[in-house]
Structure 1
Amino acid sequence: MTESRLDNFTHLQVHSHYTLLGGTAAIPDLTARAVEQGMNALALTDTAVLYGAVQFTQACQQSGIQPIIGMTVPLAAEGFVADTAVPGQIVLLAMNPAGYRTLNRISSAIQTDPAQNYRQRGIPWELLRQNRDGLIALDGGRRGWLARLLRRGDEKTAVKYAARLAGLFGENSYLSLEIHRGGAEGAEEISGEKSSAPSAPLRLNETIIAIGRRFGLAAAAVQPVYCLEAADVPKLRLLAAIDRNCRLEEVPDTALPDEGDTAVALHWQSPDQIAAKFSQFPDAVARVGEIVARCGEVLPDGRPIWPALDLPQKQTPAQALAEQAEKGLAARYGNAPDPAIRQRLAHELDLINQFGFAPLFLLTADITRFARASGVPVNTRGSVANSLVAYCVGITTVDPIEHDLLFERFLNPARASLPDIDLDFCSRRRDEVLRYVRQKYGAERVALVSAMSTMRLKSAARETAKAYGLGEAAIKRLAALIPRRWHPDPRRRQTFELEEALAQLDEAREREALRAAVGIAGLPHHLTVHPGGIVVTPGPLTDAAPLQMTPKGFTVTQYDHRDVEAIGLPKIDLLGIRALTVLADTADLIRQQHDPDFDLEAILPDDAATAVILQSGQTIGVFQCESTGAQRTLRQLRAKNVADLAIANAFFKPGPALGGMAQAFVRRYRGEESVTFLHPLLEPILGRTKGVLIFQEQVLRIATGIAGLNWTEANAIRRGMSKFQKGDLL
């Protein structure tokens, strides 16, 4: 085969580990292999989901190759054959943004089907007929209906299938050719007879090509990829056993991509290997390049996708936000506020509008107003409290002027991502808020954000041990060999040495299970729900992202919080906090049994009785203050007001507490040691924390005001210090 025919070859049916418990390859490894072997493009076609679409696109773009977003879809027989226990499959590739939206709709239909019929029996052809815009349909190869029917000897029905595929997708449909066992040895069943002759696989593919010619369906060379290396293929049986909660020997052949035929290749093949396999079908190899050329960029480009807001006619979000902020400014600071405060408000509004973030503030303010009007306890957390605009429109009750908070900690000119706004609600009444958002903005436009749960080593060991048929005692022995704790800082994690652990096991079966568990540790296991994240879109959510239904009936995005933000969907965190529930219940009890007019908000920030409790560390049940370490910190600092609480809470974090100044800070704060500064310029910044670096915004002020760094550099340092990312500090 000439080199030119291989120039544009790539794999068109590729499963990453996001084919949950059905694939083993990580996306970075797939793209690295494609680059290593000189491929200019690569497809991702996980089964029925698009979990990895954003990460895959980013990885391809960073590697300089073209991403092709697709999906392998189970397809119902619908009259072709009587045996429909196992659906066929079809590979769908997005040519353009319309195709991406179509994939979203199909995947969402599968993943939100409460009866799971689509996953178990395949999607009906009518669903394909309604959702085909922008798609290339690639017959599912060995596991598709065409090859399956031909292997059964039913060529007549196979012809009917090909005719239907061509009628539905026209020039956007192709047939798949697969060759296994090196294209020579092994057995294929054609026309009802099983043959081990070297020509059998060739005859099957020649028959596929002939049927395709009758309906204008060209054939393309396909090598399904479920693993990077052949050595990884046995993991697929283990993963299937975990998925079905059964032993390895109980896994049915139909649950495996090779259907139990170990001679079927499921691992990555190089272009040279493909050329050798398909030496008698060079046109099928060349046609891959034709398909690649028809596929382009498909994902949203990352520009913010704001919800449709209910604003007065012709009023822009920027105008609406300015109007609400001005009203709030007058309500909080009077009709003639300090010019510096008005100047800061104007500065914040300018920066917010420069980024186009006004809709985010309006949406969050609307949700907050509903909660307060409905009596749902609500609070904010994080750096949004640094914003005067947020204070004026009622998002936060923290006065950033009184507490000297830096707006640029929340939003600064170098910010490259959407800002986070976290709202805390009474955990018992959070659903009321979610219901309001769905009713106000449309149920088809609101979803929770997902998170991906992966198998840590201990859980992988437990699941693997069960698949290996080990008893409870053996499972406990394996689990006991694995470190208990996991630390966010890689430098402080407990290490695990496999060979040392294996040496402590007497049974060969247990050693085999532990070794296998290490091989699957870190793989994604299932989709779960982010603690509070929601997204709101201006139109149907599937225009932007695929959806899924949780077991409890919640609609969630298939993308996690990083991915939804990468495609431009602003995430708002609506968190359920038990501490707010306890406060609300306590206030109700006080009104019922002691003071009918009791108002929790009326308690003064410098309440003397509260100060006594804080100083003595009697804070069991107080949010973020009830651990032994937090109580000790409150006693050491003799905390007595909100400012002391803020410092105590920040000081108890690992960075300040372990930074070498802990005891000196306590002495200085209690007035037992004089305060000194490493440089006079630090005094205005570190004055209220007695010369010790405590708050992240102090890092920003030092980096920009003293070191002369820009906001990008300052943010990198802050992020590196807060998230143990050493690379950001170098």
Structure 2
Amino acid sequence: MVHARAVRMTRYAELQVTSYFSFLRGVSAPAELFAQAKRLGLSAIGITDRNTLAGIVQAHIAAKDTGMRLVVGCRLDLADFPPVLVYPMDRAAYGRLCRLLSIGKARAGKGKCLLNWADLAEWGDGLQAVLVPDVAGEDCALHLRKLRDAFGDRAYMALTLRRQPNDQMRLYELANMAHARRVKTVVTNDVLFDIHDRRILQDVVTCVRHNTTIDRAGFVRERHADRYLKPPQEIARLFSRYPEAIDRSMEIVERCRFSLDDLAYQYPDEITTPGQTPQEALEALTWEGARAFYTDGIPEDVAEILRHELALIGRMSYAPYFLTVNSIVRESRRRGILCQGRGSAANSAVCFVLGITAIDPSRTTLLFERFISEERGEPPDIDVDFEHARREEIIQWIYDHYGRTRAALTAVVTRYRAKGALRDVGKVMGLPEDLITLLSKQIWGWSREVDAEKFAETGIDLTDRRIRLTLDLARALIGVPRHLSQHPGGFVLTHDRLDELVPIEPAAMENRQTIEWDKDDIDALKFMKVDVLALGMLTCMKKGLDLLAEHKGQRFTLQTIPAEDPRTYAMIRKADTIGVFQIESRAQMSMLPRLKPRTYYDLVIEVAIVRPGPIQMGWTASMRH
């Protein structure tokens, strides 16, 4: 029997925790896991999602928010070896883990990972490795010997309850075998969810993963409901025969010195003149572009704006970012591909003289701080639209120019919305297809809510326990990630190897690759990205400009198109705008004859008003009178 004082003094870190970024396996967010761990008094937790680091940034944020310690880790499911939990001890080891995962993903294709023991042994320097065994047989003895030979004193074996017959005897035999092979043991609880009540939701995602119903799932479900976080006192009670194995959880924590704060992001080097700094190169290009556009001399007010922007860019060390965007836009112009920056970057005179945007600072009032602000301290974000028919040329040029080890698209985490959650849960619960269709039709496609009252008029029996449970589980599943997809065009570019910062995997589209983190993760780590987007209207404009040059001999660029043409605005006031980007919708066309725009800024106001926010506030209704 364990002494009461010893139980109370137990320090324990749960090192085998699966978040919902192990898609359709875990069901708890990193924030939920860390909040519960803090309530229980755990010293740290290790996030070990399967063959991925997709959730590690969110775990890093959650750890900071709760003041807890995160142990960065990953569970590697190997093709010829039992699963191994790995934890990088330092920055170099983390880089090797990222490259190892990238190798496995490149072999297996999108959403998969194929690794062998030989891969882990080759890339395992600096990793602590914990074998996750089944039973103490001859195979286990062989695996322990290999683990010991490859990892030395960084080799461990997990002791985990399976809640099966003779479970304590199994642990006893495993512990003895590990001791005989000079491999240390460590206790883990193999956590799949933060609290006990999430067990049923975990069964649901397991059924979705196996494409079966809950009635036919059988042993594909977890065999016991014990896979939730437990306090140190409970762990001490359950593993009272192995106090040293409990203590070793903290040994692993203390040896893992790596944190995501150690990642140092460096933007690509775009310097073409030896000895120049990025800031000097940007200033030279800026003044060169200004002199080329303002052939009669740079207006003093524009020169003042340029000096102000360049000084702020210099203080924020953002010059490399502008140089990279300029490099991409310059290549687009060289190929004759029309492109145009948009969004808050249009407030930048530097972007205008570099040819990234087409808003002349001499004709408008720009607020550069809307784009870059010292107070916000956020990285700049320049969205550049390209002709949709030729954007792939630019994407492939970026891969070729910067190298596939230094360039990749960001990911998009596809999460369950109400309609998708209801359909998947309905199938798992064995509901008829026509009933699932009827239920899902009551929900707007982008809704994030499942409100039972919406189904009252359909004739569906809401007192039926299976239907009520379906609605409750669908509600709980909303927001849970289902898989990763690729961003429409958000590139992360680096000076050093990108695959040592984050794993890279092939995208579904040919010759594309993505990282495992989305734009929110990138922003949290202060990485910069360049958005290379497609716009069909730019293709139309390019054809129009080409026709003018061919038949009228009039050669224009987006920057030199005559402004404020009265006949154009006369057509706009009549709502003759079908096919005109931004003002072709029925809502926009109904507002144009009322506001009667005569200048570009009138259009800015009109487009800003006809948006969901102002409409819901009733501002547009007041303009009818």
TM-score by length of 1: 0.79
- In 1: Cα distance, 2:173 partner to 2:356 partner: 67
Whether the 8 Å contact between 1:105 and 1:546 is mirrored in structure 2 is yes
Question: What is aligned with 1:9?
Answer: 12
State the Cα distance separating 1:336 from its structure 2 match: 4.4
Give the RMSD, CA atoms, in angstroms. 2.6
Query: Once the two structures are superposed, what CA deviation does each residue of 1:347-402 show, in whole Å capped at 9, x if it has no partner?
Result: 21111011110000000011111112211121111111111221222221211232
How far apart are 1:415 and its partner, in Å? 2.2
Match of 1:719 in 2: none
Change (3 A) 1:576 1:539: same
CA distance in 1, matches of 2:118, 2:365: 61
1:347 and 1:301 mapped to 2: Cα distance?
A: 33
Of 271, 290, 298, the residue aligned with 1:329 is: 290
Would the alpha carbon gap of residues 402 and 599 (structure 1) be closer, same or farther in structure 2, given more than 3 Å must change? closer
Task: Say whether 1:168 aligns with 2:150.
Answer: yes
Alpha-carbon deviation of 1:666?
A: 8.5
Instruction: Give 1:174 shift.
Output: 0.5
Q: 1:246 and 2:201 equivalent?
A: no
CA 1:656/1:230 → structure 2, altered by over 3 Å: closer, same or farther? Answer: closer
- Tell me how far apart the structure 2 counterparts of residues 591 and 392 of structure 1 sit (CA, whole Å): 23
The AA in structure 1 aligned to 2:467 is: E
Which aligned pairs between 1:609-628 and structure 2 lie closer than 5 A? 609-628=567-586
For residues 595-606 of structure 1, the aligned pairs below 5 Å read: 595=552, 599=556, 601=558, 603-606=561-564
For 2:279 and 2:552, the matched residues in 1 are separated by 44
CA shift for structure 1 position 270 = 1.8
SS in 2 for 1:13: strand
* Alpha-carbon distance in structure 2 between the residues aligned to 1:531 and 1:229: 36
Distance in 2, Cα, partners of 1:62 & 1:371? 43
> Is 2:251 the counterpart of 1:290?
yes
Q: Secondary structure at the match of 1:443?
A: coil
Conserved in 2, the CA contact under 8 Å of 1:384 and 1:421? yes
Give 1:178-327 correspondences, 5 Å limit.
178-181=160-163, 186-187=164-165, 200-251=166-217, 253=219, 255-256=220-221, 258=222, 262-263=223-224, 265-301=226-262, 304-327=265-288
The secondary structure found in structure 2 opposite 1:46 is coil
Contact 1:302 1:566 in 2 (8 A): no
1:248-647 superposed matches below 5 A: 248-251=214-217, 253=219, 255-256=220-221, 258=222, 262-263=223-224, 265-301=226-262, 304-334=265-295, 336-483=297-444, 486=447, 496-498=450-452, 501=455, 505-506=460-461, 508-553=465-510, 554-587=512-545, 595=552, 599=556, 601=558, 603-647=561-605
1:653 pairs, out of 596, 605, 611, with: 611
Q: Following superposition of structure 1 onto structure 2, how do residues 60-79 of structure 1 map, counting pairs within 5 Å?
A: 60-77=63-80
Q: CA deviation at 1:284?
A: 0.9
Cα deviation for residue 324 of structure 1 reads 0.6
Q: Deviations over 1:114-143 (max 9, x none)?
A: 457974xx5211110221122110111xxx
The alignment partner of 1:130 has SS state of helix
The verdict on how the C-alpha distance between 1:502 and 1:129 changes in structure 2, with shifts beyond 3 A counting, is farther
Identify the residue that residue 47 of structure 2 maps to in structure 1.
44
For 1:501 and 1:429, how far apart are their aligned partners in 2? Answer: 47
Conserved? CA contact 2:33–2:193, under 8 Å = no
| 396 and 3 in structure 1: CA distance in 2 versus 1, 3 angstrom threshold | farther
What one-letter code is carried by the residue in structure 2 that aligns with 1:325?
Answer: T
What is the CA deviation profile of residues 403-459 of structure 1, one whole-angstrom value per residue up to 9, with x for unaligned ones?
111111111221221011000011111111111111211122110111111111111
Q: RCO higher in 1 or 2 (8 Å CA, sep ≥ 6)?
A: 2
Q: Distance in 1 between matches of 2:574 and 2:348?
A: 33
Describe how 1:84-103 pairs up with structure 2 within 5 A.
Answer: 88-103=82-97
Please state how far the C-alpha of 1:11 moved relative to its aligned partner: 0.7
Q: Are the equivalent residues in 2 in contact too, given 1:6–1:285 (CA < 8 A)?
A: no
Letter in 2 for 1:570: M
1:60 match: secondary structure: helix
- CA deviations 1:582-632 (Å, max 9, x no partner) are 32344556677x547665656422223322221111111111111111112
Shift of 1:651: 2.5
Q: Which amino acid aligns with 1:547?
A: I
The one-letter code of the counterpart of 1:95 is M
- Report if the CA contact (8 A) 2:7-2:237 is conserved: no
1:712 corresponds to: none
Cα distance change, pair 498–134 in 1 and its aligned pair in 2 (3 A): farther
Residues 552, 117 of structure 1: alpha-carbon distance in 2 compared, 3 angstrom cutoff? closer
Deviation string, structure 1 residues 45-104 (Cα, Å, up to 9, x no partner):
1111111111111110121111111111102236xxxxxxxxx31111122212222221
Q: CA, structure 1 residues 407+264, in 2 after alignment: closer, same or farther (shift >3 Å)?
A: closer
When the two structures are superposed, what TM-score results if normalisation uses the length of structure 2? 0.92
The answer for the alignment partner of 1:672 in structure 2 is none
Contact 2:186 2:249 in 1 (8 A): yes
Matched, 1:106 2:60: no
Structure 1 residues 665 and 605, CA gap change in structure 2 (3 angstroms):
farther
1:160 shift after superposition: 1.3
Which segments of 5 or more consecutive residues in structure 1 lack a partner in the other structure?
79-87, 188-199, 487-492, 668-730
Distance 1:485 1:95 in 2: 42
Q: Secondary structure at the match of 2:526?
A: coil
Deviation at 1:164, TM superposition (A): 0.1
CA 1:156–1:329: 2 relative to 1, 3 Å: same
Q: Distance in 2 between matches of 1:264 and 1:661?
A: 53
- AA at the equivalent of 1:552: M
